[in-house]
Structure 1
Amino acid sequence: MKAVTVYEAGGPDKLIYEEVPKPVLKKGWSLVKVMGFGVNHSEIFTREGQSPSVEFPRILGIECVGVVEETSDENLLPVGQKVISIMGEMGRAFDGSYAEYVLLPNEQIYPVDTHLSWEELATIPETYYTAFGSMKNLLIKESDKVLVRGATSGVGIAFLNLVKGQFNHIVVDGTSRSLSKKYDLIQAGFDDVIEDSSGQLQTQKNYDKILELIGPATVKNSFKHMNEQGILCSTGQLGGKWFLEEFDPIMDIQINSYMTSFHSANVDGNKLNQLLEFIEQNKIVIKPEKVFELKDIAKAHEFLESSHSFGKVVILRKELKQA
């Protein structure tokens, strides 16, 4: 099969498209034919050598959508079953989805029932699932004023689509380090765009709910723009900082407000199918920003790392991309 292997840490040029042996079925695992997957910032970090637990060579890829090709559990995962897989140690402790086929632990393969296209489905797993879980934890209601910090990211756009899909008149603002992306964000559906300059929001506005995708680097500043009784959900770490340092919960959390979080490892099949049902019931338009083939995954990484990056980048199986 064709796959993309990283043999040593470095730039996009370290993503080697090559022929490798197709994985062999083993007890407790099943083989999935990969129809598509999203490209994630965490895979860029791993490619760069910033994931200490990952040993090279490794086929990256922490998510995929596809169909069961070979199974060790015919009852739960029959051949031909449409499935989604997210996280676990996929693409980290064992080879992941940057391939035509991936061997996965059965407990990490989730059967799904959906009429969405492969392109739509490939856009969803990590990104929309993370956005959906964050939205639930924020307890959003239509009267809320909402801020997405890190709005140009895939999760930021997904969160906007889900919230606007449920609440027609809700106000959702987004942030960007560059106001050159303001037009794109307004076109995507944000009501206003706030400049995020050196970790400081250039506004006097306050919000009821804040989705914090930059992470520990900006959490303290985000709380300065929180209304009383508000909720901040710290979900992303796009700021490249992993821990809250010199953070005093008594002083740094806005008065009578709340902090929560969501992590995509908090996953199960029921929640995934709830997300797909929510998307179909609310007629939410799911569209990736860029679509590539597996052989062009280095270009996908380059785009995601560039100043032009916006929304979700997906890889589709060759025959789907060419259809």
Structure 2
Amino acid sequence: MKAVVIKEAGGPEKLIYQDVPKPNLKSGWSLVKIKGFGVNHSEIFTRKGLSPTVKFPRILGIECVGIIAETTDPKRLPVGQKVISLMGEMGRDFDGSYAEYALIPNDQLYPIETDLDWTTLAALPETYYTAYGSLLNLKIAPSDKVLVRGGTSGVGIAFVQLIKGKYPDIFVAGTSRSLRKEKEMKVAGYDEVIVDENGKLKTDQKFNKILELIGPKTIKNSFQHTCEYGIVCSTGQLGNEWYLKDFDPITDIAPNGYLTSFYSANVDQKKIEQLLQFVEKHDIKVKPEKVFDLEHVADAHRYLEGSHSFGKVVVVEK
């Protein structure tokens, strides 16, 4: 089969499209014919050698959508069954989705019933699932004033599309490091774009709910813009800081406020089904910003790393 293999850390050129043996079936695992997958910032970090637990050579890819090709669980995962898989150390401890086939543990495969096309499905597992889980944890009400910190990211765009699909008139602002992408952000659904300069918001506004995608680097500043009884959901770590430093929860959390979190490893079948139903019920236009094929995964990395990237990047079978 064809796959994209990385043998040593480095730039996108280290992602080599080549022939490799198709994985052999083993107990407790099933073989998936990959139909599509999203490309994620965490895979870029791994490619650069910033994931110390990942050993090369490796086929990256932490998520996928596809069809069961060979199975060891014919009752739950019959051959031909559409499935979603994400996280669970796929593409890290074992080879992932940058390939025509991937061997994946059965307990990490989630059967789905949907008529959504593969390009739409490829955008859902990591990005829209994370956005949906965050939306639930923020307990959004239609009267809320909402901020997405990291508004141009894939999860940020997915979140504003989901929330506007359910509550078309809700106010949602998004942050960016400049106003250069203001037009695209408003087309995506944001009502206002706020500049985030060196970890400080260039506004005096406060919000009832904040989706924090920059992470520990900006959480303290986000709480300075949170209304009383407001909620901040820390979901992303785009600021490349993993832990809160010098954080006093008594004084740094907004008065009577709440800090919660969501991450994509918090996966279960019910939430995946709810997400698909939500997308279909509210007619969410899940449209990736860029679509590549397997042979051009390196180009997908180059695009996602570039300052011009916007929204979700996916790879779909030709």
Query: What's 1:38 paired with?
Result: 38
Q: How far off its partner does 1:114 sit?
A: 0.8
Q: Does 1:181 align with 2:197?
A: no
Q: CA RMSD in A?
A: 0.5
Query: What's 2:81 paired with?
Result: 81
Q: For 2:187 and 2:200, locate their aligned partners in 1 and report how far apart those are by CA, in whole Å.
A: 24
Q: Secondary structure at the match of 1:255?
A: coil
Which residue identity lines up with residue 279 of structure 1 in the other structure? V
Deviations 1:230-287 (A, max 9, x none): 0000000000101101111011101110000001000011110110001101111110
Deviation >6 Å, runs of 4+: none
Q: How far off its partner does 1:298 sit?
A: 0.7
Q: How far off its partner does 1:289 sit?
A: 0.1
Query: What's 1:321 paired with?
Result: none
Which residue identity lines up with residue 139 of structure 1 in the other structure? K
Query: What's 1:307 paired with?
Result: 307
Which residue identity lines up with residue 73 of structure 1 in the other structure? D
Q: Where does structure 1 lack aligned partners over 5 or more consecutive residues? A: 319-323
Percent identical among aligned pairs is: 65
Query: What's 1:208 paired with?
Result: 208
Q: For 1:210 and 1:177, locate their aligned partners in 2 and report how far apart those are by CA, in whole Å.
A: 17
Deviations 1:34-53 (A, max 9, x none): 00000000000000111111
Q: How far off its partner does 1:168 sit?
A: 1.7
Query: What's 2:223 paired with?
Result: 223
TM normalised by structure 1 equals: 0.98
Q: Secondary structure at the match of 2:180?
A: helix
Q: What is the total number of aligned residue pairs between the two structures?
A: 318
Q: For 1:241 and 1:178, locate their aligned partners in 2 and report how far apart those are by CA, in whole Å.
A: 21
Q: Secondary structure at the match of 1:180?
A: coil
Query: What's 1:293 paired with?
Result: 293
Query: What's 1:66 paired with?
Result: 66
Q: For 2:217 and 2:278, locate their aligned partners in 1 and report how far apart those are by CA, in whole Å.
A: 32
Q: Secondary structure at the match of 2:275?
A: helix
Q: For 1:244 and 1:16, locate their aligned partners in 2 and report how far apart those are by CA, in whole Å.
A: 37
Q: For 2:46 and 2:248, locate their aligned partners in 1 and report how far apart those are by CA, in whole Å.
A: 31
Query: What's 1:154 paired with?
Result: 154
Q: Secondary structure at the match of 1:16?
A: strand
Query: What's 1:10 paired with?
Result: 10
Q: How far off its partner does 1:130 sit?
A: 0.2
Q: How far off its partner does 1:315 sit?
A: 0.1
Q: Does 1:143 align with 2:143?
A: yes
Q: For 2:221 and 2:317, locate their aligned partners in 1 and report how far apart those are by CA, in whole Å.
A: 42
Q: Does 1:261 align with 2:222?
A: no
Q: For 1:261 and 1:152, locate their aligned partners in 2 and report how far apart those are by CA, in whole Å.
A: 20
Q: For 1:85 and 1:256, locate their aligned partners in 2 and report how far apart those are by CA, in whole Å.
A: 38
Q: For 1:167 and 1:183, locate their aligned partners in 2 and report how far apart those are by CA, in whole Å.
A: 21
Query: What's 1:101 paired with?
Result: 101
Deviations 1:208-232 (A, max 9, x none): 0000000001001111100000000
Q: Does 1:234 align with 2:247?
A: no
Query: What's 1:192 paired with?
Result: 192
